[in-house]
Structure formats: C-alpha cells, structure tokens
A and B are shown apart, each in its own frame.
Chain A
Amino acid sequence: MNAIKSLFTALALIVLIGSACNDNNQSPCVSEQDQSAVFQNIADNLIIPGYDDLNTRLATLQSAAQAFTGDPSTQQLEALRNAWKAAYLSWQRVAQYEFGPAEERQLRAFLNAFPIETAAVETQLNSGNFVFDNAETFDKGFPALDYLLYGTGATDADILARYSTDPLAGNYKGYLTAVAAQMQQLVSETLQAWTGGFRQTFIANTGTAAGASLSLLINALNEHYELIKRDKLGIPVGAVTLGFPNPDKAEAFYAGIFAELALEALRASESLYLGRAVNGANGEGLDDYLQQVAAKQQGQDLHQLIVDQFEAAIEALEAVPDPLSETIATDKALVEAAYVEVSEQVRLLKTNLPSQTCIAITYIDNPSDSD
C-alpha cells in the first residue's frame, strides 16, 4: 500500500504546483444572460418580421410580374425591377437564418443560388417546362430574375422584345412567373412555420447543446458570414482566384448591385449579433450574451472588437460603388480593402464567439468517432 500512498502524495504535489501556475479562475460558459429573452427578441423582432417583409415584397413582385407579362412595357419592366430589388434586399436580411423551417426548405439554395447558369436557364426556356425542384441547380430564384430582367438583352428594348416579339416570349413570361411563384410559396411556408409553432420551440430551446437555439444562431451567423466573404466578395473580387476578378460571378451581376446587396447582408449579420430590430431598436442579442461572459483579448473587450470590426467592414463596403465590373476597372483597391475588412471578422466570429459562449461549430460535422 506504500506505493499507493506515495502516488497520492505525488498527485497532491502536482495539484499544488498546478494551482500555483494557474492564471485566472473564471468559470467558463456561465452567462447570467437569460437565453430565452435573446431568442424572443431575435424571433419577434428580426426573424419573423424579416420573413413577413420578404413575403409581402414577394407578393408585390408576383403581381408586378403578372402586370408585366400582361403588358411588357418599359413602365411595367421598371416596376417589376424595383419590386425584384426590394425583395432581394429584404432577402439579404433573412438569408442567414438557414435552420429550422428555412433549412427544411433549403431556402438559400432555392432563392439565391448564384452565379446563374445561363445555359441551364436557356434549356428550360427552350423546353417550356419549368421545373425547379432540384436544390443543386443554378437556374432559379433571384439570380434567375436578375438574368431575365437585366441580362437577356443588351438594351431595355432588347429585353422587352423577349417578352413581346420573341418566338419564345410565352416561355419567357412563363419562366418569370414560375420563378416568382416558387419563391413566394417557399417563403410563405417558412413564415407560417415560424409563426405556427417553431417560434415557441425556438424560444424555449435553451442550453448550449448542438441543436439548441444558441447553437443554431451562432452556427447560422458563422456559416452565412463565410458565404458573404467567399461568394459575395472573395470570388467576384478575385481574392481567392489568383487575383483575377470574376465580376460575372457576382451576386446580381446583370443588375449590377452587388455592393448594395452585400452591404445589406453584412448589416443583417451585425443586426443578429446585436439583436437589432428592423426598426433599429437594439434589443437583446448575441452581444448581450457574450458580454456577460466578459471575455477580453489582449486587454480588449471581445464584444467591442466584434462591433468595431462590423463597423470597419460596413464602412469599407459602403465606399465601394456599384457595379462591380466598373469599380474593378477604376478602383480595384477599394473592393480589395472591403474584402480584407470583411475577412478580419471571420476569426472573431468563428473562434472567439463560439469558444466564449461554449458553443460547438456544428455546421462542420464529425463524420467518425472521436476520443
């Protein structure tokens, strides 16, 4: 038994040495913040009003599409384009909530898979059969409308001709209405699912487990933020493609409003983090939760670092004029600078936010066992 005794002595010794070296003693993962209050604010003041707004704007878009197909005039085209743009901006505010009802419907894939594959669109146009049930194809949603309303001709007159004198005019009209109808359908279903019961589930689903609402929000924020970085900026700007810009791969390439859309998406990320309602009121958000953990990095408040970085990124992106193809030719440095500022935020959101709030990044799943 002597061996055991000396083992315990050694153990006690090591423990003592360890406690002497120990830097700080704050208990991790414990936040005083009421999670449900955060979820309620985000559901009632960001997500549901967001889907509601998108739903309304898609309804407007649908009636504008009907008016346009009935009367393919310059005025109606203008009205339809405005309705499309308003809906597209509205979409940017909810695109990040790809969990629960939106995830079930693969909303992002069906509404905004870009860049559009014009060949796939042309195939559908020629066939006259409009089937958009494959989430993997790039021939539907907002990007399809971008092409149909801005990209099918060099001038507005050419585009109008597609819907009036073109032999396939009927198909063009059919495509337009079919795309708009599908978007409206999916969004109205998502909205109904949220108001019809998911809201309650979401608010009550507290804790830090994978699949709890806090985990859903932090993962959703991260996943979408990385999409903003890569798809909305990195690829079009050329940062990830050897410095060769690809303006044709930008979001809304034909309408040429990539910066406007990216800015709206970035502001939406910031809103989710802050818990900032559509009307600007700053309610309880992820920031309140993080601040309760009161984490610091090199003496700086982590919350403040994230807020500052959002501001820097938004400011840099605000300086980028549309359309991208022109900005790249005249002032490429502006776009590159915006990309750097947007990128800087990823590590804060992806390493600090989860580690401080004790949330696992689960949109990367472990395909095997662990130990």
Chain B
Amino acid sequence: MNHPLVHRLLYRPLPIAPLVTFRILFGGLMMIGALRFMQKGWVERLYGEPVFFFKYYGFEWVETLDVPGMYAVYSLIALSAAGIMLGFAYRWSVLLFFLSFSYAELTDATNYLNHYYLVILLAFLLFFIPANRRFSIDTRLRPSLALTHVPAWTIHLLQFQVGIVYFFAGFAKLNPDWLFKAMPLAVWLPEKAGIPVIGPLLALPAAAFAFSWFGAIYDLTIPFWLFIKKTRPWAYGAVVVFHVLTKMLFNIGLFPFIMIFNTLIFFPASTHHRWLKYLGYHPGEPCIKEPTTDNRQPTTTPILLALHIVIQVLIPLRFLCYPGNVLWTEEGYRFAWRVMLVEKNGYATFFVSDAATGRRTEVINSRFLTPFQEKQMAIQPDFILQYAHFLARHYREREGFQQPVVTVDSYVALNGRPSERFIDPGINLADVLDGLGTKKWVLRY
C-alpha cells in the first residue's frame, strides 16, 4: 500500500475544483429531474395507476407508498439534491438523496433505467467524497471546513465510475446483432426519418451500421481519450455531439445531460477554475492542507476502493455465469450498462388452474398491470415469475383456488427475428422460486 505510485494515485493533493463542479451540476440536474418527474404527472402514472409492483431480487419487501407519499419522496429527492448542489448540510443531503432516490427506484423495477442506477452509485460515492469543502454553504457557515485540495482518489474514483459506464456500454455492444445487423438501430433510426436535415440520412441502411460501429468504438474508448491530456478536448467535443445526437433521436430523458456534465470530472482543475470563476469561485491560497498526514486512512481507504472497483467490474460481467444469450434470457442483464441494445416484442398469456377443483382460467393482464408493466413483464423472466406468484396468491386468496397452478404461454421477438417461445409452458411457475441461479424454465435461444 505504500508503494510510491499507489500513494501518488491515491493521495497526491489535487485542487478541489473538479469536485465542486461535479457537486453543483449533479445536484442541480437531479433537482430538475425530480421536479420534472412530478411536473410530468409521472408520480400518478407510475405509482397511482398500477395495483401491482415489480421488485428487484432481494428487495421484494420494499413497499410502494400511495401517490401523496410518493410525491413526498420526490420532493425529498428534489430538496436533498438542492442541498448537494449548494453544499448545504452536505453529508445529510447526500445520505437523504441516496436513500430517497434508491427507494423511489426500488418501488417498481418496471422503471429500471441504467442511468438511475448510475445516479444511485454516484450518490453513494459522493457520501465519502468531500465535495462540499469549498464554495458551499457549509464552508460559509463553518469556514474551518474549507479545503483547497483533496486527495487524488476522490477525483479518480468518480472518473472510474463514469468511465466504467462507457466501457461496459461499449463492451455490451460487441454482439453480432449490434455489429452485423445494426440491430436495434436499424429499427429505431428509420423511425426518426422525419427530423430535419439528418432525417433522410437516418433511413439509409448504412446509417444504422455507421451509428452502431461508431457508438461501440466511442463507448469502449472514450474514457481513455478523456483521460489522456492531448486528446481530452476532442474527446469532450465528441461527448457533447454524441449525447446531443442521442437526445434528439431517443426518448432518454436526462441521461445525455448526466454524461455531458459528469465527464467534466476528467478535466484538470485549471479548466474548472476558468469556468467556475464566473460563479465567483476562487481557488484559494496555495497553502496545501496535506490530507495524507491523516494516518487513519491509508489502510482502509485503498482496500475499500479496490473492493468497489472489483465489484463494479464483476457485476457487469456476471452474465458470463449464465448459459445462453444475455439479450434473450436477461440473466445478468441489469446493472451492466446495457443501454439501447434490444428491440423486443413480447406476448405472455397466463393460465391459472386449480388442481383441486379442475377450474382453469386465462388471465386478463390488464386487470392487474398497466400496459407499460405488461409490456416490460412479457420480455423479462424475473417479472414473469413475480407476476405468476402474484397471480397464484390472488387466485388463492380472492378466487378460492386451493392449489393454483400458473403456466404461461409466452413469445418474444428479439431484434427483428420472428418470435420464439420464451418460457417453458409446462412449468408451474407458482412452484418456482426466484434465485440467482440459472433460470432453467427460460427456454434457451
């Protein structure tokens, strides 16, 4: 741990400015995001309309609040995000933001988005990163808190986290569908043929291939270009162009802004100083408070950092433990930065029968699920299973079934292929327990 290189990488004092920028933009954007979410009426639509909510494995116990309750949660998200932005009661704000945002995401897995997961990870990291120690309300109230420099790991950690998103997003694109069929962009781009100037180009088959290949190479390599000083300005230009383009083409909400803002963490303090001064920021006296004199940290910090890095690398790779195509089985699909990879059409018809009475019924999914939930359920095995368990419970408790047997007739069309049967129709899903092991009842492609 005391190798000079490691020491330099972790503890070399760096000006705090990149963290200040990061904190302000992250907090500001998250605040706007939460306000936008409420203003669009999504609280009613996503929490008021459904009667059943899908959960993440291990978080089945999370209860969804009613609409006023969820409004309170989103208000808390907006408030705590404002706290992060202003650097006010920073650690409490970060903690509150992390908890309220994570809770909102855990309430219904239907709404999983990779960039929400990224937000949760960043909030988690910010808790350990002193981004409030300059140019904040906290330092205004307690000037003794103010720092001019922070240990290098605080900045490198955020760079790593942002970089890993790109790298694995690119890694996930290295599949035959994406590279050699330009799928699903070959479906999505022609849909945008109506937009001005570039629209007609998007309808050309070559455009989908160009976008696919450029996108894969961009994602895989951009963290490195951003890290290298010589290529950084060009790389950042590419970041802006890339994300503005995706914003124009796809309904991806705040994601482009998150990435355009986050990638500023790769720039040296001098760049941040140049822009932050317009907000009245001063880098401070060059008297450096040397944080490495703190002897409590060196043993635990490197270990925790290494642990985080290993976990962040292993989670996206866990799909390798499952047989079959991850795009089809979706085992190990989430939390792996698989962005915009599949165009799936699914159709799942559930049957519930009672072994005791011989009664049998088909289920009208719209009785229990919103159209969007139904659409998501039909293509994700763990949702199919959760829903089947819900049906078993419903028919046992409400319809008087003694031993409900739940089966599903399900078909999925993946990336422009004809549909194939998805789930073993002979399996009684009511008896199947969810787990992290291979889902043998998912038919392999």
Contacts and interface: CB of A to CB of B under 8 A. Distances in A.
A240 B391 CA distance: 13
Could you say which of B115, B176, B349 has the most chain A C-beta atoms within 10 Å of its C-beta? B176
Contacts of B221: 4, 7
B317 interface: no
Contacts of A21: 176
Interface string B343-383: 10111010000000001111110000011101100000000
B55 to A, nearest CB: 17
Contacts of A361: 345, 375
B6 interface: no
Interface in A346-371: 346-348, 350-352, 354-356, 358, 360-361, 363-371
Which of B363, B364, B399 has its CB near the most chain A CB atoms (within 10 A)? B364
B298 interface: no
Contacts of B175: 18
Q: Which among A347, A348, A371 has the greatest number of chain B C-beta atoms within 10 A? A: A371
A358 B418 contact: no
B412 A209 contact: no
Nearest to B206: A27
A366 B183 CA distance: 20
B1 to A, nearest CB: 24
A4 B193 CA distance: 36
Contacts of A347: 347, 411, 419
Contact-residue bracket for chain A: 35 or more
> At the interface, is chain A mostly helix, strand, loop or mixed?
loop
B176 A367 contact: no
A7 B163 CA distance: 15
Interface stretch (A107-115, A151-159, A294-302, A309-317): A294-302
Contact of B339 (A25, A302, A366, A371): A371
B255 interface: yes
A158 to B, nearest CB: 36
Contacts of B339: 371
Contacts, number: 159
Nearest to A358: B187
A28 B418 contact: no
A240 B181 CA distance: 40
A208 B194 CA distance: 10
Contacts of B419: 297, 347-348, 351-352, 355
A105 interface: no
B130 to A, nearest CB: 30
B191 A371 contact: no
B364 A355 contact: no
Contact of A371 (B255, B411, B416): B255
A222 to B, nearest CB: 10
A208 B217 contact: no
Given A4-B224, A21-B176, A371 B115 contact: yes
Nearest to A351: B419
Contact of B375 (A28, A364, A369): A364
Contact of B362 (A208, A234, A295, A360): A234
Given A356-B418, A369-B252, A239 B347 contact: no
Interface of B: 42, 45-46, 111, 113-115, 174-176, 179-183, 186-187, 190-194, 203, 205, 217, 220-221, 224, 250-255, 339-340, 343, 345-347, 349, 359-364, 370-372, 374-375, 399, 411-413, 415-419
10 nearest interchain CB pairs? A369-B253, A351-B419, A355-B413, A297-B418, A28-B416, A364-B371, A351-B413, A242-B361, A209-B191, A351-B345
5 contacts: A30-B205, A208-B187, A209-B191, A242-B361, A343-B349
Given A347-B419, A354-B413, A358-B191, 11 more contacts: A7-B220, A18-B175, A18-B179, A22-B180, A28-B187, A29-B190, A242-B360, A351-B419, A352-B419, A365-B372, A371-B339
